[in-house]
């Protein structure tokens, strides 16, 4: 199926030129191109139009989950009949395994996996290996180890009606695919059995698959209550290895263990040797019994038969040949991609030295920047402030500007005011825009200040909240939506109120201590922060400072350049500026909390006697929890 863009929008301003130029460069297999687009100029629409023109599967990389979610929603609305997916880290909470030698402290890996995001990851991967009309919006987790795409597809099971197979063989095959059995409360990646009926719950969270087994045969297959003649069942995790290869991989793990134990004994390190032997032997026992173990990704180089140092497989390796990569807010995303490898290696090296992991664990890692570059054929950098890397890599003719807003809104005006009495002055400005039903952002330089200012504004009778890096990732868009809905009037932040956040109700950006030159007050940061008011017709920024720094002057000069270009366009085309009207998309919190208490509808038992038989069987097998649940179900049936 082809990509088909559905939107009431038509290219306006310089969008048409940008779409045409970018389409030509992508079709000519140009490796690097830049969309230099100001906030509110419709960059996502331009990118969507390019995708429709070039008809390439696309990977969109964003630097955080919140912006990735926003882009995912926008692309879904642009391509309702194509496959648009969301791929980010599935951890709600993540404490990596670590060891601190100075205090002899071992920190066990502690993580809380979000099942719904995990299902979305599986859905994204399954889509990209089965459909050419797929767009995946991902965070930088797309450069982390994911398992072999060849093994993932090889072990997937195309189940056909009338297949000759015994019930025992059928259930064993599911277990080898990583599925586990749970008859009472099955979730994604599980199955349940009642007699000759097996219900499979795909890891992707899609509709369950009902398989009716006859005598050594598959009689019927139902997907979403519709009968089908075949269905493809993908593994329940990404590190599934064919049984014959798993035995070889385990043999290689044992060989590495033997070599490492010899090293520890030679250097008289008995404690690390004991740790490593106990942990590795336990993992091998789990792999032998289940084909899987907790932390199996640390053995990924053996499972994938990669030589030491060879790059791991990632989501990028699942993408088809000739795909397009869009790097959103590239001035932040590129440095993130560049820095992931070193931090990961330093932590694991310590674990290996003290016997918590085999040396091969180093190969379960994110890509190095050079490895990323060799795997991404064509990339489109998107930013209002492209970084040095993007501009150096891209020929000047392939840097496409998009500085005109179709709405006619000019860049926010900038006013510099002294820091003396800045809070008193800021409060007066906030109260003024509050009376007009508008919103404000206040940007400070530390998390503590953000909290203190928020409390101060609250005491002044202003509805306010703060946002910074210690606020849970999936809570942040909740706060932003509350600001948009008018549940409070001001959001106070440090460094998160910048790139890509669409809040058209915001008309005022207040930047405190604007003359504190540095990362939080450089030209890029100032332009991005001021841009949060660029979707409102009355957009303006107040910078409190006692001097004009180089970054402030560069920001003012660039803003004035953009204002003049927009004003000239408005005059020529007789456009009256109007504020952006934008739908408030469902945010991740809605996705995560909806159906929180939802449980799978139970398989229907034909009679109370059948339930009683199952209850006695569970009790006999010492599965008292299941027996108790069945007992309650029997009681309910009696009461009815």
Q: Round to whole Å and give the CA distance between 161 and 214.
A: 11
Structural tokens at position 341: 């490898």
Structure-model confidence comparison of residues 614 and 130, the more confident one:
130
Structure-model confidence comparison of residues 439 and 494, the more confident one:
439
- Is the pLDDT assigned to residue 585 strictly greater than 70? no
Confidence of residue 88 (pLDDT cuts 50, 70, 90): very high
- Is the pLDDT assigned to residue 127 strictly greater than 90? yes
- Is the pLDDT assigned to residue 163 strictly greater than 70? yes
Tell whether 596 is covered by a domain.
no
| Predicted local distance difference test score (pLDDT) of residue 477 | 74
Q: Which of 89, 121, 122, 93 is nearest to 109 (CA)?
A: 93
Confidence of residue 600 (pLDDT cuts 50, 70, 90): very low
- The per-residue pLDDT of the chain, averaged, comes to 88
Same domain as 166, residue 139: no
| Predicted local distance difference test score (pLDDT) of residue 380 | 97
- Is the pLDDT assigned to residue 209 strictly greater than 60? yes
Same domain as 139, residue 258: no
Average pLDDT over residues 15-30: 96
| Predicted local distance difference test score (pLDDT) of residue 66 | 79
- Is the pLDDT assigned to residue 471 strictly greater than 80? no
* CATH assignment of the domain containing 181: 3.30.2060.10
Task: For 410-436, give the DSSP string.
Answer: PPPEEEEE-STTHHHHHHHHHHHHHHT
| Predicted local distance difference test score (pLDDT) of residue 293 | 87
Structural tokens at position 445: 């330089």
Confidence of residue 621 (pLDDT cuts 50, 70, 90): low
Share of the chain above pLDDT 70, in %: 91
DSSP E strand stretches across 367-500: 378-383, 399-402, 413-417, 439-443, 464-467, 490-493
- Is the pLDDT assigned to residue 529 strictly greater than 60? yes
- Is the pLDDT assigned to residue 191 strictly greater than 70? yes
Structural tokens at position 403: 């500085």
Structure-model confidence comparison of residues 398 and 107, the more confident one:
398
Tell whether 297 is covered by a domain.
no
Structure-model confidence comparison of residues 576 and 79, the more confident one:
79
Average pLDDT over residues 379-394: 93
Same domain as 161, residue 139: no
Q: Round to whole Å and give the CA distance between 436 and 431.
A: 9
pLDDT digits (tens, 9 = 90+) for 216-258: 999 999 998 899 999 999 999 998 888 888 899 999 999 999 9
Structural tokens at position 138: 């991902």
Of 402, 436, 471, the one marking the end of a domain is 402
Tell whether 47 is covered by a domain.
yes
- Cβ atoms of 578 and 407 within 8 Å: the answer is yes
| Predicted local distance difference test score (pLDDT) of residue 599 | 40
Tell whether 190 is covered by a domain.
yes
| Predicted local distance difference test score (pLDDT) of residue 601 | 45
Average pLDDT over residues 519-541: 90
Structure-model confidence comparison of residues 114 and 37, the more confident one:
37
Tell whether 306 is covered by a domain.
no
| Predicted local distance difference test score (pLDDT) of residue 463 | 94
Q: Round to whole Å and give the CA distance between 55 and 603.
A: 43
- Other C-beta atoms closer than 10 Å to the C-beta of 624 total 11
Same domain as 135, residue 19: yes
- When mean pLDDT is compared across 433-442, 474-483, 491-500, the lowest value belongs to 491-500
Same domain as 201, residue 136: no
Same domain as 465, residue 567: yes
Give the β-pairing of 506-511 and 540-544.
Answer: parallel
Same domain as 565, residue 512: yes
Average pLDDT over residues 32-39: 93
Same domain as 378, residue 505: no
Tell whether 217 is covered by a domain.
yes
- Is the pLDDT assigned to residue 609 strictly greater than 90? no
| Lookup result for tokens 């030295």 | 353
Same domain as 555, residue 487: yes
- Other C-beta atoms closer than 10 Å to the C-beta of 627 total 18
pLDDT digits (tens, 9 = 90+) for 301-352: 999 999 999 999 999 999 999 999 999 999 999 999 998 888 788 889 999 9
Same domain as 562, residue 455: yes
Structure-model confidence comparison of residues 491 and 602, the more confident one:
491
Of 402, 430, 456, the one marking the end of a domain is 402
- Cβ atoms of 331 and 385 within 8 Å: the answer is yes
Same domain as 223, residue 113: no
- Is the pLDDT assigned to residue 639 strictly greater than 80? no
Confidence of residue 426 (pLDDT cuts 50, 70, 90): very high
Average pLDDT over residues 556-574: 93
pLDDT digits (tens, 9 = 90+) for 258-279: 999 999 999 999 999 999 999 9
Instruction: Compute the C-alpha angle 397/399/401, nearest 5°.
Output: 115
- Count of domains forming the chain: 5
Tell whether 10 is covered by a domain.
no
* CATH assignment of the domain containing 491: 3.40.50.300
- When mean pLDDT is compared across 223-227, 391-395, 517-521, the lowest value belongs to 517-521
Tell whether 299 is covered by a domain.
no
| Predicted local distance difference test score (pLDDT) of residue 507 | 94
Same domain as 220, residue 187: yes
- Domain span at residue 569? 413-577
Q: Is 66 helix (H, G, I), strand (E, B) or coil?
A: helix
Confidence of residue 433 (pLDDT cuts 50, 70, 90): very high
Q: Round to whole Å and give the CA distance between 255 and 130.
A: 37
Q: How far is CA 368 from CA 76, 351, 600, in A?
A: 31, 20, 42
């Amino acid at each position: 199926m082809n990509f088909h863009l559905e939107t009431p929008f038509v290219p306006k301003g310089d969008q048409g030129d940008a779409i045409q130029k970018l389409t030509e460069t992508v079709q000519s297999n140009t490796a690097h191109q830049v969309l230099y687009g100001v906030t509110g100029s419709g960059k996502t629409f331009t990118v969507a139009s390019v995708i429709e023109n070039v008809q390439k599967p696309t990977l969109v990389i964003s630097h955080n989950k919140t912006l990735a979610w926003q882009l995912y929603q926008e692309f879904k609305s642009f391509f309702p009949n194509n496959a648009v997916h969301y791929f980010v880290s599935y951890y709600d909470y993540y404490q990596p395994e670590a060891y601190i030698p100075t205090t002899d402290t071992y920190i066990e890996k502690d993580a809380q996996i979000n099942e719904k995001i995990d299902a979305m990851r599986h859905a994204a991967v399954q889509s990209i290996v089965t459909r050419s009309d797929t767009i995946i919006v991902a965070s930088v987790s797309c450069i982390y180890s994911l398992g072999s795409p060849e093994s993932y597809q090889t072990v997937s099971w195309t189940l056909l009606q009338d297949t000759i197979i015994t019930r025992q063989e059928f259930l064993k095959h599911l277990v080898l695919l990583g599925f586990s059995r749970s008859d009472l409360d099955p979730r994604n990646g599980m199955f349940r059995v009642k007699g000759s009926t097996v219900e499979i719950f795909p890891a992707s969270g899609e509709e369950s698959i009902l398989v009716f087994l006859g005598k050594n045969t598959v009689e019927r297959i139902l997907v979403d209550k519709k009968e089908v003649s075949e269905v493809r069942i993908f593994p329940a995790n990404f590190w599934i290895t064919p049984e014959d290869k798993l035995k070889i991989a385990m043999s290689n793990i044992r060989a590495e263990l033997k070599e490492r134990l010899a090293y520890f004994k030679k250097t008289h390190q008995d404690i690390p040797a004991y740790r490593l032997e106990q942990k590795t032997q336990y993992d091998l026992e789990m792999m032998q019994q289940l084909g899987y173990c907790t932390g199996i990704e640390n053995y990924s180089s053996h499972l994938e038969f990669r030589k030491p140092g060879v790059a791991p497989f990632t989501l990028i390796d699942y993408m088809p040949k000739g795909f397009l990569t869009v790097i959103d807010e590239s001035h932040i995303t590129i440095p993130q991609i560049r820095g992931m490898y070193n931090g990961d290696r330093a932590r694991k090296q310590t674990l290996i030295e003290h016997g918590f992991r085999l040396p091969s664990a180093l190969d379960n890692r994110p890509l190095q920047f050079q490895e990323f570059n060799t795997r991404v054929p064509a990339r489109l950098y998107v930013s209002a402030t492209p970084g040095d890397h993007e501009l150096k890599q891209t020929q000047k003719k392939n840097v496409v500007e998009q500085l005109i807003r179709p709405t006619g809104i000019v860049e926010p005006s900038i006013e510099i005011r002294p820091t003396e009495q800045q809070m008193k002055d800021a409060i007066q400005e906030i109260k003024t825009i509050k009376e007009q039903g508008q919103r404000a952002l206040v940007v400070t330089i530390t998390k503590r200040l953000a909290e203190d200012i928020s409390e101060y504004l609250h005491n002044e009778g202003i509805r306010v909240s703060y946002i910074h890096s210690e606020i849970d990732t999936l809570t942040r868009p909740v706060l932003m939506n509350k600001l948009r809905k008018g549940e409070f009037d001001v959001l106070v932040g440090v460094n998160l109120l910048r790139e890509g956040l669409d809040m058209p109700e915001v008309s005022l950006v207040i930047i405190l201590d604007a003359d504190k030159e540095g990362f939080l007050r450089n030209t890029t940061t100032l332009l991005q922060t001021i841009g949060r008011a660029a979707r409102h017709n009355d957009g303006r920024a107040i910078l409190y400072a006692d001097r004009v720094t180089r970054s402030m002057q560069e920001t003012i000069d660039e803003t004035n350049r953009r204002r003049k270009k927009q004003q000239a366009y408005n005059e020529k085309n007789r456009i009256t500026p109007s504020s952006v009207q934008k739908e408030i998309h469902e945010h991740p919190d809605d996705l995560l909390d909806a159906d929180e208490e939802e449980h799978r509808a139970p398989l229907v038992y034909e009679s109370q006697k059948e339930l009683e038989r199952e209850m006695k069987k569970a009790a006999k097998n010492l599965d008292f929890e299941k027996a108790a649940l069945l007992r309650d179900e029997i009681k309910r049936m009696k009461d009815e």
